Amino acid sequence: MEPNSLAIFHSNDIYPTSADGTMPFKQATDILWLSGVDQEDSVLVISPDAKRNEDKELLFLTETNDLIAVWEGEKLTKKEAFEVSGIQTVYWLSEFDTIMKSLMSQTENVYLLTQEHLRRNTPVQTREMRLNAELKKIYPNHNYKRSAPFLNKLRAIKTALEIEVMKIAAEITAAGFNRVLKFLKPDCWEHEIEAEFIHEFVKRRSRGFAYSPIIGSGSNACVLHYLENNKQCISGDLILIDVGAEYANYACDVTRCFPVNGKFTDRQREVYESVLRVEKASIELLKPGAVLSEYHKQVGDLMTKELINLNLLSQEEVDNQNPSWPAYKKYFMHGTSHYLGLDVHDYGLWDGSPMEAGMVFTCEPGIYIPEEGIGIRIEDDILITSSGYINLTKEIPKEVSEIEAAMKTG
Ligand code: GLY
Ligand code: MN
Ligand code: MN
């Protein structure tokens, strides 16, 4: 930060549903990443140039009381907050306004987190947005600056501990897929498969799905954000399963496609092998120095070749394609990779910066042919290392022979 600055980070609200209902609490990932505090109504203030040493890092938390303890259980004490965050100065939230008055009077620049995620698409105001707007109203003459660029950069590179936790999320996800390979049979229902996953995940100390699971059989697999998961699985169809476990707030994000009756048809196998070849070749492109925009172009070229071989595209269509919407997009209309971490579509650098060791990306090419009732995506989670990559989700079967063998013994 520039000299004479402070930065403020807020927790999420507990979002209301209706009547007196609420969603389960989900912490805002920035304050969590910076402090480890996984509790509502929390504020982190970082003020490196504050005059008093004890004002350089501050946490504000809800003061617990007997009533809260009876109804909601314990909240963090000041001592526990220090233990999770390493921050010495912990205040109760009731003191926030008074202490901010003092800090703001010593400060020129205020770094706030604005919602800058490229894919953010919701009109709902977060607690962070609300309290930042209030701060600007009370103190209109400070210089307000963006902390998002710092967080994008910092959170893009995972620490050893984050990688350890992501490996556990991958192990739990693998256990769920292995369970489902044995469970999947003609006439079972998509929601029954969802239930198998959640059972395995929660049993293994995950708090659940890292994102809404997509479990689509037959042509449902061609609906990219299919969330109903309420159809019966028919013999002869494939089923696409895009499911990942959360562990310690970190996400895993995996897609596999299985034949409902345990055996791929010739056509399903042909298309599946095309997607698998593209996925494997794309994973090999993920390494230090690679640039996402170039990588996405290379994957597009690999996919174009496969689609011509499958007779889904002609060479002529490719020769005459619109470069800003290449012909392959007709069958593969989403991106190949995104950053993965605390958020499923995690923070990262989309500005042409090269990949670095410690970044984690998904790799998830797909081919969707609604007129044939075939939708196939294969998705793994790839950690970039100094010498190449580690596939965190490689234990989850994806070879045709492995899938068919696992389903036979189910
Ligand atoms: N499951 C969300 C995604 O693959 O990006
Ligand atoms: Mn996914
Ligand atoms: Mn993904």
Is the Cβ atom of 381 under 6 angstroms away from ligand 1?
no
Atom number of ligand 1 nearest to Cα 377:
4
Domain borders along the chain are 5-155, 157-409
Per-residue pLDDT tens over the stretch 256-306: 999 999 999 999 999 999 999 999 999 999 999 999 999 999 999 999 999
Residues bordering ligand 3, an ion, CB closer than 5 Å: 253, 362
Ligand 1: does its nearest atom lie under 6 Å from the Cβ of 211? Answer: yes
pLDDT under 50 in the chain at which residues?
A: none
User: 157-409 belongs to which CATH class?
Assistant: alpha beta
Tokens of 403: 């899938």
Residues serving a catalytic function are: 20, 225, 242, 253, 334, 338, 345, 364, 368, 377, 379
Please, which residues have CB within 8 angstroms of residue 190's CB and are 6 or more apart in sequence?
215, 216, 217, 220, 228, 229, 230, 231, 232, 233, 239
**Two structure tokens written together for 56:** 């350089």
- Give every CB contact of residue 140 below 8 A, 6+ residues apart in sequence: none
Of the residues 229, 242, 279, which should be mutated to test ligand 1's pocket, given the most ligand atoms within 8 Å of the CB? 242
Residue 281 φ/ψ, nearest 5 degrees? -70, -35
Q: How far is the CA of 180 from the centre of ligand 1 (A)?
A: 19
To 10 degrees, what angle do helices 160-183 and 190-203 make? 140
Q: If DSSP states are collapsed to H, E and C, what string results for 205-221?
A: CCCEECCCCEEEEHHHH
Task: Give the pTM.
Answer: 0.95
- CATH code given to domain 5-155: 3.40.350.10
Which atom of ligand 1 sits closest to the CA of residue 244? 1
Nearest residue CA, atom 2 of ligand 1? 253
Buried b (16+ CB within 10 A) or exposed e, 149-188: eebbeebbbbeeebbebbbbbbbbbbbbbbbbbeebeeeb
Q: What is the pLDDT of residue 73?
A: 77
Output the CA 335–ligand 3 centroid distance in Å. Answer: 9
Give pLDDT, residue 291: 96
pLDDT of residue 410: 61
* Atom 3 of ligand 1, residue of closest alpha carbon: 253
